[in-house]
Amino acid sequence: MAYDFDKIVDRRGSGCFKYDALKALYSRDDLLSLWVADMDFQVAPCIQTAMKLRLEHGVFGYNLRMPDYYAAASYWVKKRYGWHVKRDWIVNTPGVVPAINLAVLSLTRPDDKILIQTPVYRPFFNAVTDHDRCLLTNPLKLVNGKYQIDQEDFERKIRQASLFILCNPHNPVGRVWDEYELQFMGDLCKRYDVPIVSDEIHADIIYEGKEFRGLGSLERYLDLTITCISPAKSFNIAGLSSAVAIIPNHRMRKSVNDLNEHLHLYMGNSFGIEALKAAYSEGEDWLEELLAYLESNRNYLMDYISTNLPMLKMIKPESTYLAWLDFGELGLDDNALFDFLTNKARVALDPGRKYGVDGSGFSRLNFGCSKALLMEAMQRLTDAVKEGF
């Protein structure tokens, strides 16, 4: 490998939420931090170089995204997803979550119903309930170790909805929705005239045997879909606040962008702009090596848990660097499970209950870290299980 993903970088004391918030959130800071979804790897050299050049300029005033920014974003979407995106479709936001909230506020009204598929990333819930909208949930079904859409429930609820927030690839269950599933959801949204916000932030992290398709890239849903992408996850630059919302529909785009501008969210971060351009223009070789490393970590986890911790169940992720672990056979309630993982195994995982009631008994583990750290975490967990509760 040209890049060293085994290198361990000490992130403590850097103002890093993943490590420096441990004491506040877990009541101790001596844990292996495998919770929030950012990776422990240093960013691609091309990104570091681009940011150094920007730093050397020495002036950081208000930003204007130049044509090369839009060219980089369009190039990436075409290269990775096979989708030709027009410059006019792009709306710039500080992140995917702000983009989702902008869509909720600009396309719906208080008391409107918004559909999400659970268990799912907590900000989806907040984007609905924090703005006085009504939450509709379409719980995914776990069938033979794989999550599926409950189609009858989806059709019943989409008729009531004013907006559907899709997670593709899905966080935390790791599904890459296939074309049949996308068409099922898209056709019903089209039939009932329900706009779709598609969070595709993990779309670059796809494992062997799977192919990613974005709902908005399918021609008949083009006018219905807001597609949200960002290099934040795949290039580990979540702290640089750069994302793109692709909105082909002029009316929806104007509504979202008007609010974006009124809230002054569009200006961007000087370093985030350079990082996005570098990642999308020059970072593909780094990403390909990262994917190989992450897939190796995923496979190690699957094999280790199957062999050494058979009472646990790991839902095999088709995408993301997040493992969705079922601890149900341990017989612990959510509070007891959190206490066991934190104070006995001394690992910080994300409690499954954060992802809705369907996440009860689960925890989410971030394997975007060195293999050595992952191995230590598994040993700690094994030792704790052997000692009993």
CATH architecture assignment, domain 47-282: 3-Layer(aba) Sandwich (3.40)
Contact 289, 41 (CB under 8 A): no
Using one digit for the tens of pLDDT, what is the confidence trace for 329-379? 999 999 999 999 999 999 999 999 999 999 999 999 999 999 999 999 999
The Cα–Cα gap between 128 and 314 comes to 29
Using one digit for the tens of pLDDT, what is the confidence trace for 176-234? 999 999 999 999 999 999 999 999 999 999 999 999 999 999 999 999 999 999 999 99
The Cα–Cα gap between 150 and 153 comes to 6
271 has a pLDDT exceeding 80? yes
Q: Which residues pair with 148 in a beta bridge?
A: 141
SS3 213: coil
> pTM higher than 0.85, yes or no?
yes
Using one digit for the tens of pLDDT, what is the confidence trace for 79-97? 999 999 999 999 999 999 9
1 has a pLDDT exceeding 90? no
Residue type at position 247 = I
Helix segments in 147-242, DSSP class H? 151-158, 179-191
The tally of CA atoms less than 13 A away on the side-chain side of residue 263 is: 18
Instruction: Give the pLDDT score at 202.
Output: 98
The Cα–Cα gap between 192 and 212 comes to 25
Name 335's Cβ contacts closer than 8 Å, sequence gap at least 6.
Answer: none
Checking 358-361 for CB contacts under 8 A at 24+ apart, the result is 358/118, 358/119, 358/139, 358/140, 359/118, 359/119, 359/172, 360/334, 361/326, 361/327, 361/328, 361/334, 361/337
Topology of the domain covering 17-43+285-387: Aspartate Aminotransferase, domain 1 (3.90.1150)
CA torsion sign for 299, 302, 306, 309 is: positive
The Cα–Cα gap between 133 and 174 comes to 27
Instruction: Give the pLDDT score at 209.
Output: 93
Nearest-CA neighbor of 93 among 259, 233, 236, 224? 259
Sheet holding 313-315, edge to edge: 313-315, 322-326, 362-366, 350-351
Residue type at position 125 = F
Give the residue-averaged pLDDT of 234-245. Answer: 97
User: In the chain, where does the domain assigned CATH 3.90.1150.10 lie?
Assistant: 17-43+285-387
Strands (E), 183-260: 196-199, 225-229, 243-246
Place of tokens 């059709």: 155
User: Could you tell me the end-to-end alpha-carbon distance of the chain, in angstroms, rounded to an integer?
Assistant: 42
- Average pLDDT of the chain, as a whole number: 97
User: In the chain, where does the domain assigned CATH 3.40.640.10 lie?
Assistant: 47-282
State how far Cα 267 lies from the chain centre: 23
Burial class (CB in 10 A: 0-12, 13-18, 19+), 145: exposed
SS3 368: coil
